Structure 1
Amino acid sequence: MGNRKSSKKNTSKNKTRMKSKSERDKRSKKIDRKIANERENYKNLVKILVLGTGESGKSTFVKQIQIIYKSGFETEFRQMYKTKVQRNIIHYTKQLINSLPSVGLQLKSHERDVAIRFLKDKSQYCDHTTIELKEMIETLWKSKALKRAFSLRSSLQIPDTHSYYLNDLDRLTEEEYLPNDQDILNCRIPTTGVSSVEFEVNNLPWYVVDVGGQRSERRKWIHQFDDVNLVIYVTAISEFDQKLYEDEEVNRMRESLELFDSTINNDYFFHKSCVLLFNKIDLFENKIKETNLSESFIDYEGDNSYDDCLSYLTNLFLKIGNNKKRKVTHLYTCANNTGKIKEAFEVIQQSVLEKVSKDLGKIEKL
């Protein structure tokens, strides 16, 4: 009897082992198939790395990709940006007030009282803008001193988009306010870490990676260099006369030129396709009417016309980026304009896809 029981137990254990092994084999095959599929998908993936200095507009460009190819932003994302937008308003208004003495401006007596209250108001650290805070900002924005300081924003580290918010305070401070696309695009928040967006165009998967452009963030770039098919470098052409946020002794465009050189001519990218986006072209067109390029670039000897200045700055970058095996594609853009970015990205696909296909092997021509 004992032997029979022992035999039955052994038979049962063997069946259990066989069943367990069969399940493990099935799981293993399933994992192998998944890995194989992922490898095949990855092989056909176009990885785009978007680089540039801080404030160049590269993160805005990536947000536009989200709007155009991913049906925009979820409600949860918009709710998160409500606080960011309102804090943007408060932060840069405060910066404008504090910058007045440096440009020889001062508020009138009653405006100074409002400014003092505004700077001390603790509600600005809450998750919403109070009615009192909003009224103080409205009063300050009506002052000639603050308006004049804003006109000098290039030297005060104030973003051009700040007036967009100050001119629409009623809507932006409503209790039920939810940021629209333009509110999000105009919000200035330095990119830290890495953000990305994946989308598909003509049955081809694209993966766009954005990394912070501030000096402290650039050491993270190298971790994104592998398997890059296309580099998009964004430079803000309107910032030819501005200084870095991190170092007010350094011209923003000269920093951008040096960074473009060290990046695009890096061993990782020397043979890669590159698209150069000259961003903020609308601001450049307006600024060049009042500012002489030679004040920032002493080698420039042109007539300071829009076309001549544009050609000069464009050539500075192209001389760095072009080589025997690569010709940089360049475009002029306005990152806040969704239509313009859509047009630019369509050109990017047409002009670069053929080169990228040589790396990927299985991409059909558009």
Structure 2
Amino acid sequence: MGNLSRKKKKNKKEKQKEKTKNNLIDLQMDQENEKIQKTIKIITLGTGESGKSTFLKQLSILYSTGFEESSRELYASTIQKNLIHYIKILLRAAHSLGIKMQEENIRLSRSFFAFDDLTTQSLQAIIQLWSDPGLKEAYERRSEFQLPDMSKYFLDDAERIGKSDYLPTDQDILNCRIPTTGVNELNIVVDDLPWVVVDVGGQRSERRKWIHHFDGVTLVVYVVALSEYDQRLFEDQTVNRMLESLDLFAKTINNECFENKNCVVLFNKDDIFRKKIKEIPLKTCFPNFTGENDYQSTCKFIQEKFDKIGRNKKRVIFYHFTCATDTESMRAVFDVVSSTILQNQLNVGGYL
């Protein structure tokens, strides 16, 4: 009898202990769920080279730790190799477009293709070749072939970049493009609220992965390369980049996951567009455009194109014309995003 009584007491204590443990687990799960519900999840979408990853980099500079020295060293290697890559692209383009170069640089160009790494010799060749008016002309005609817009930024500063102790500045990293494959996430805190910003690859081969990251999105940020209205898609030379961006916007923003989600459309590369629109008419992309080919008229027309596709009664779309590599410009965009759109999202969701 005595042993049976002690067993019952023991079982009772074990049950109480187990109950307490389960209660703690339930409490932790409730706290975790509450944290998840209060987390602002932002997904950045857009075509390749639109500037989505630059958006993420700017958030890291403004709200996180920025770039560690180890990251800068990795970027340094990429940027230095890109100098060689850009010159090779320009040399091929100059040849195929029939652009004349100075005789001494024609001879230099024949040996340049043997270079794979940045050395003292290849650096001097880059500086000399880039000074050739023929390569500058090829750069101005870059809409006829594939060359990143930021190539001029780096080639103009090749001497600094070519130094043995070169370490990229924040601006160098913002201008450096490394195609996004898979998914990059950045966790930051803005106005005492946790944000998770998801950046997915914009190339066609990467887009099939997007759907896996649509759940729980608070806000959609869609990035458009405004200056690419006269350029062709890397994956398909028959497709205009701006028209591809419009088509992709229609397919994603009207997905059922986003039908009641507010959206920010960032018209990026505004600085390049301002210069380009003076020389190349918007009709290059939109033959039905009948307005004046000035900055204000063309921007209004492009915005209306996107607005017609994306607006509905359940969401509001905010538009910003900006340059993603300009930290102060992006700071102003983030201030507007956090103080207006996100505030509205939190109120609607009952988070505040």
Structure 1 and Structure 2 fold alike (TM over 0.5): yes
Corresponding position of 2:79: 85
Corresponding position of 1:269: 258
Q: How does 1:134-149 map to 2 (within 5 A)?
A: 134-149=123-138
Matched, 1:41 2:35: yes
Letter in 1 for 2:32: E
Corresponding position of 2:56: 62
Return the match for 1:294 from 278, 283, 299.
Answer: 283
Q: How does 1:8-27 map to 2 (within 5 A)?
A: none
Return the match for 1:218 from 200, 207, 219.
Answer: 207
Q: Is the 8 A contact 1:229 1:359 kept in 2?
A: no
Question: Please, which runs of 5 or more residues in structure 1 have no aligned partner?
Answer: 1-6
User: How far apart in 1 are the matches of 2:13 and 2:206?
Assistant: 52
Cα deviation per residue 1:184-205 (whole Å; 9 max; x = unaligned)?
1111221111001111111111
Matched, 1:228 2:203: no
User: How far apart in 2 are the matches of 1:94 and 1:165?
Assistant: 14
Q: Is the 8 A contact 1:88 1:187 kept in 2?
A: no
Corresponding position of 1:250: 239
Letter in 1 for 2:97: V
Q: Is the 8 A contact 2:229 2:284 kept in 1?
A: no
Once the two structures are TM-superposed, the CA of residue 322 in structure 1 deviates from its matched residue by 0.8
**Structure 2 counterpart SS, 1:268:** helix
Q: Is the 8 A contact 1:106 1:145 kept in 2?
A: yes
User: How far apart in 1 are the matches of 2:156 and 2:110?
Assistant: 22
Q: Is the 8 A contact 1:294 1:300 kept in 2?
A: yes
Return the match for 1:112 from 106, 113, 118.
Answer: 106
Letter in 2 for 1:80: L
Q: Is the 8 A contact 1:171 1:177 kept in 2?
A: yes
Return the match for 1:306 from 277, 283, 295.
Answer: 295
User: How far apart in 2 are the matches of 1:80 and 1:203?
Assistant: 32
User: How far apart in 2 are the matches of 1:94 and 1:22?
Assistant: 74
Aligned residues: 346
Matched, 1:239 2:228: yes
Return the match for 1:172 from 148, 155, 161.
Answer: 161
Matched, 1:102 2:96: yes
Once the two structures are TM-superposed, the CA of residue 22 in structure 1 deviates from its matched residue by 9.9
Q: Is the 8 A contact 2:83 2:158 kept in 1?
A: no
Once the two structures are TM-superposed, the CA of residue 112 in structure 1 deviates from its matched residue by 2.1
User: How far apart in 1 are the matches of 2:214 and 2:123?
Assistant: 45
Q: Is the 8 A contact 1:234 1:276 kept in 2?
A: yes
Letter in 2 for 1:163: K
Return the match for 1:335 from 318, 324, 337.
Answer: 324
Letter in 2 for 1:194: V
Once the two structures are TM-superposed, the CA of residue 28 in structure 1 deviates from its matched residue by 6.3
Cα deviation per residue 1:155-212 (whole Å; 9 max; x = unaligned)?
2221221111112122212111111111111112211110011111111111110000
Letter in 1 for 2:114: K
**Structure 2 counterpart SS, 1:49:** strand
Please report the TM-score for the alignment, with normalisation by the length of structure 2: 0.92
Once the two structures are TM-superposed, the CA of residue 58 in structure 1 deviates from its matched residue by 1.1
User: How far apart in 1 are the matches of 2:307 and 2:92?
Assistant: 39
Corresponding position of 1:72: 66
Matched, 1:346 2:346: no
Once the two structures are TM-superposed, the CA of residue 106 in structure 1 deviates from its matched residue by 3.4
Letter in 2 for 1:227: G
Moved more, 168-177 or 133-142: 168-177
Corresponding position of 1:130: 119
Question: Please, which runs of 5 or more residues in structure 2 have no aligned partner?
Answer: none
Moved more, 214-223 or 182-191: 182-191
User: How far apart in 2 are the matches of 1:178 and 1:29?
Assistant: 53
Change (3 A) 1:130 1:25: farther
User: How far apart in 1 are the matches of 2:30 and 2:110?
Assistant: 64
User: How far apart in 1 are the matches of 2:324 and 2:343?
Assistant: 25
Matched, 1:278 2:276: no
Moved more, 17-26 or 297-306: 17-26
